[in-house]
A and B are shown apart, each in its own frame.
Chain A
Amino acid sequence: MSQSFDEISAQLRRRHRKSARLKWISMGALGLAGLFLVLFFADMLGKGMPAFQQAQVQVEIDYNEDAQRMGRAALDPEVSRLVSRTFERLIPGQIRDNPELLGTTETRWVLADSQVDQYLKGHRHKLSESQKATVDALVEQGRAELKFNTTFFTTGDSKMPEASGILSAAVGTVLTMLVTLAIAFPIGVMTAVYLEEFAPDNRLTQIIEININNLAAIPSILFGLLGLAIFINFFGVPRSSPLVGGMTLALMTLPVIIIATRTALRSVPDSIRHAAFGVGCSQWQVVRDHVLPLAMPGIMTGSIIGLAQAMGETAPLIIVGMVAFIPDVSASFAEAATVLPAQVFTWAGEPDKAFVEKTAGGILVLLAILIFLNASAVILRKKFERRW
């Protein structure tokens, strides 16, 4: 059975078309993944950028007798509905602290209620028609406008969207990460040094190695169960504190640091070790004075990446109770605190729609920090990594 040349070349063309199709399909898959990324960032930016602006209203505050008991009385009843209640609540206290304020008046820009904020941003709001008219009039007089939202960066959590901020969560994140690093970095580096430089090739070493690889793949929520059962219930570490959160995250970050450090140690050429041994260094002296300094850029890069991973982690922290309502900034390792991703989680669960933009705003801050960390890890590697 013979085929004509035409048939054969037609078949060949078909086969090449098929081959080209595979190329386009696979290219499309990569493009799809890239598209997801672009869509995701566009969505987050679109939802989160409004959070960095906040409506403010210029009001006349009349420190009269009634305002001593009820802050609302200090304001014109027409605008008092439009002003954040957190501000009104502070007025009686101010009068108590400064009795000479009584009887005076003052014109100031103050936080507007979240509904006014949403209205000015063109989102869904619950203002009545008359309130809308008042706001429109205020805008016309230049007495209500959107300004840069400093509150978002200078306060802790609040039940009122306009008064809630990320500062307490940011402080909690810093404290937790300090604990994590203080535990995971030394132990991780020591483990890696032992496995790469000291360990004999025996059963125990193999078990440790398998165990570390396995630890890296255990779901993070199980670390939360460990933190709850062992750190909190058994050792009595205070619940919800940066201490217990940091310890839990440290165990999670450990494998990342160990694996990165081992790679860095392995990339230091043996000639360095041989030269150091040759001039009479002991094993520890070789490691301390020669191998570790040369491997340091790689170790730092790995640790920063591990830290970034721990910083975005939420699930184990929920289990150890770090999703708490923390209105005040506390700089203690043993008191209840929350972290940025946990704050995002809390806000995402708020029924008030005005919290959606707060959530996305918090996400943008978190992503900015993570991008900064990862970028600095990349730069560190580019700048200091030596190719042998």
Chain B
Amino acid sequence: MQTDQLLALFSGILLLLGLIAFFIGRAKATRVRATGTAMFAQPDQYAWFAVLATAGPAITVGILGAILMLLLGAKIPPLYLLAGSLVVAAVGLTVGVRQVRPDFHARQAIERVIRFILVGAALISIFTTFGILFSIVFEALRFFKMHSFWEFITGTVWNPGASFLAAAGRAEEGASAAQFGSVPLFAGTFMITAIAMLVAIPVGLLSAIYMAEFAPQRVRTLAKPTLEVLAGIPTVVYGFFAAITVAPIIVSVAGFFGLDASFNNAVAPGIVMGIMIIPFISSLSDDVINSVPDSMRQGSLALGMTKGETIRDVVVPAALPGIISASLLAVSRALGETMIVVMAAGMRPNLTANPLEDMTTVTVRIVAALTGDLEFESAETLSAFALGLVLFAVTLTLNLVSVLMIRRFREKYRVNNL
């Protein structure tokens, strides 16, 4: 039988057993209560306990069996597993119904089970992080067995072209050996990120200063959600915008100055990414500037500073940890941004300082490596995981530093809404 049929059968029978448990449990509890005996819980609670006693162990056995089969490769015939878990369910049903006694705290028992389920749900987010970490690290290690880590970190040539021959056992036929030097990719990534930050930090920070210090209330309530719209536009849409609209403009502007720009230049995705990131910076900076205590502004104004000087010399320096933290978060977002660069930046690993040339980024290569029709074992496919590992490490560090900075700010000014 198919897995999904087995699953349907399992859930069907379990549902039936659960219903039986519920009604028997409730009927028994009602009967006991009708005799005038004082009970610790309501009949419905006894009934729900019976249901939990039926379904809980059975589902646990089923999941354990599935994990054993998948992880350890144990050969358990699915039918045995089905029968086994259903037997467990039947045992659970009898135990559950027998527990319908006046001296049994059904409500507390349910409470314990629910707490257990909630902890389980909360642990899923931890599993996700570990899942990301393990999936990336394991595949990256396989990559580093084929190509040295040192070469990956310091090499300046990224040419995976011949790796499919190596995967097919015909490495010697390749005209040149595959080279995986990631420096050009990181150079491209940092170039585009830097351009994005050149757009996003001034515009975002100044918008935040205007909204927090100058704008009348009405402008503020209107401007903030409007800026948030920029963050809500899907990145694939920005990518299209960058490739179809912005890149040709950049090329013609560069042509006007007599410069030669590629249609896949780094400026277009950089600018568009910067626009996308403006609300990240403005919204967080706005919050931070607003939480700078008013006493500092009053003190500064009382000393005869103008409003502009107060902002420049008192408010912004006080808010600096928060602003830096916002910028670091923005950098981490820009580094990991994928669609804009996939659609608007180039595919050619190119180590250059000229932003008008085409260059590629880490995320572009990850996508390129995993969307080709190469087999999974090839070095090029695995290189995506090595790049992902570096990306993960860098963004994780940036996020942690950012969290630490904002925490320091929060402690200094005792604000709790950040």
Contact = CB atoms under 8 A, between A and B. Distances in A.
Interface stretch (A14-22, A49-57, A291-299): A14-22
B366 A18 contact: no
Contacts of A224: 370
B114 A344 contact: no
Contacts of A230: 131, 135
Interface string B367-392: 10011000010000000110010011
B351 interface: no
B interface bracket (residues with beta carbon within 8 Å of A): 35 or more
Interface stretch (A63-71, A95-103, A208-216): A208-216
B229 A211 contact: no
Interface in B218-252: 223, 225-227, 229-230, 232-237, 239-241, 243-245
Given A18-B306, A219-B363, A37 B229 contact: yes
Given A223-B132, A225-B385, A318-B371, A23 B210 contact: yes
B376 to A, nearest CB: 7
Interface SS of B by simple majority: helix
Contact of A43 (B213, B235, B245, B376): B245
A33 B282 contact: yes
A219 B391 contact: yes
A348 B247 CA distance: 14
Interface residues of A, number: 89
A214 B70 contact: no
A315 B131 contact: no
Interface stretch (B29-37, B116-124, B190-198, B262-270): B116-124
B161 interface: no
A30 interface: yes
Interface in A217-272: 217-226, 228-230, 233-235, 251, 254-255, 258
Interface stretch (B86-94, B166-174, B199-207, B290-298): B199-207
Nearest to B337: A219
Contact of B392 (A37, A218, A342): A218
Interface of B: 70, 107-108, 110-111, 114-115, 117-119, 121-126, 128-129, 131-132, 135-136, 138-139, 202-207, 209-211, 213-215, 223, 225-227, 229-230, 232-237, 239-241, 243-245, 275, 278, 282, 306-309, 311-312, 329, 332-333, 335-339, 342-343, 363, 366-367, 370-371, 376, 384-385, 388, 391-392, 395-396, 399-400, 403
24 contacts: A15-B306, A21-B308, A26-B214, A33-B204, A33-B275, A33-B278, A34-B226, A43-B241, A186-B121, A187-B124, A214-B400, A219-B336, A219-B391, A220-B338, A221-B366, A254-B128, A309-B232, A315-B342, A315-B363, A341-B234, A341-B236, A348-B240, A349-B343, A370-B233
